[in-house]
Amino acid sequence: MNLEEKVREHINKIKEKDGKIKSFIEVWEEDSIKRAKELELKKEKGKLYGKIVAIKDNMLFEGKEITAGSKILKGHISSYTATAVKKMIDEDAIIIGRTNMDEFAMGSSNENSAYFPTRNPINTDYVPGGSSGGSAAAVAADFADISLGSDTGGSIRQPASFCGIYGLKPTYGTVSRYGLIAFASSLDQIGPFAKTIDDLKSAYDTIKGFDPNDSTTYKEMKEHSDKKLSDMSLGIIEFDEKGCDEAVIENFNKAIGELSKKTKKTVKIKMPHLKYAISSYYIVASSEASSNLARFDGIRYGRYEEGKDLESSYEKTRGKGFGTEVKRRIILGTYALSAGYYDEYYLKAQKIRALVKKDFDEAFKTADILIIPTTPTTAFKIGEKSENPLSMYLNDIFTVPVNLAGVCALSAPYGKDSKGLPCGVQIIADRFSEKYLFEAAKGLL
């Protein structure tokens, strides 16, 4: 099968099956076929040659619409291409389309999209996770070989777990955020989804690296040297099992057993501030979101709704443009940053963040890799938690500490529940230790 035939096969599969799953907002059929034809004429092939790639709808692709899953950006055309996307193109990947997401990456189920909810390819009655649910579903349904998502508090790892694939949240600052629509700038990180560890690693190796357009990227990355799993020490993070599905705990314990046999030693890790991480995260993330989303006023960015004066124009623009969850987080963040409450909320949340980071620093003194479930439950039904934001937020309880600390983590599929829904195991490593994650994930195969 040549490359053009491969692309056509993927497009036909999307046309046939994505009507029910709804992982894509837009498929670039003609562009993808044209690109395949051009690549076939190349003599020297890049390391992602012929890989079909889907990108989340918050990453710019020059000349294409980008909306971050929101009504307020409907019709906005990208003026340049995001660095991570460009790096994949430079290595001969074919960008097939943009995937659905929770509006401005705020959500854990993909039900907050202004377009439609995405469904889990394993069972379409269930959510695929969020906010990168469209990217995860596209890979799980074999519509793409690799997809890119963004992870602010678990938005790659949680949908990877729900859809039974691999998802990587790299070390903060290893992948450029230039061309990514910001949610919470100190937490956001672009990362890949794939069905195989090799594809995941190839994607990460392609997109990582310094970018002069993003001052948070590292000029020098002191990557840890290669280490075999048999030379690694495994840290098992102690956590409260209350609220976790039986199947999640059962498969997690099996994964511990599997890795324990292959690692040098196993230690139990106490992280005393882990229980405060979710509270800290939602203050920090919402505060940064309220600042970042201030630009979407219909004048600088966003669709303008005219009112009788400037204030009423702002109200109409944002009232119609933003969805419920986005409004909720803007209000929460603005309140936390307001005079009289800044010290009580935002400053305190940042102090907790520092303690969470310290917990990880201490843990990595005794363990090379840490392990904890990716999520407390398997995928839940569409509509099950949409009326209860707190229940939805708690789904991120095991993923948000990683973003607060800026370390790297990978969700690996491991086992299923009684309904056939996948379980995920989260492997965590210190900054610049992504190689450890890939090596450990192979130990679960």
From the candidates 22, 51, 56, 195, give the one annotated as an active-site residue.
56
Active site residue 109: no
* Closest to 25 measured CA to CA, from 150, 131, 115: 115
On the 0-12 / 13-18 / 19+ scale of CB atoms within 10 A, 124 is: middle
Would residue 287 show up in a list of annotated catalytic residues for this protein?
no
Identified catalytic residue from 155, 176, 287, 290: 155
**Cis peptide bond N-terminal to 109, omega within 30:** no
What is the token pair recorded at 441?
A: 């994930």
d(CA 182, CA 89): 22
Instruction: Report the half-sphere exposure of 404 (CA within 13 A, side-chain side).
Output: 32
> Using CA atoms, how far apart are residues 277 and 355, in angstroms rounded to an integer?
9
Active site residue 391: no
Nearest to 401 by CA among 346, 352, 332, 348: 352
Token pair recorded at residue 183: 């949610």
The answer to whether residues 195 and 203 touch, using CB atoms and an 8 Å cutoff, is no
Angle between helices 277-292 and 348-363 (to 10 degrees): 120
Nearest to 327 by CA among 296, 298, 290: 290
Catalytic residue (one of 113, 131, 132, 135)? 131
- Report the catalytic residues: 56, 131, 155
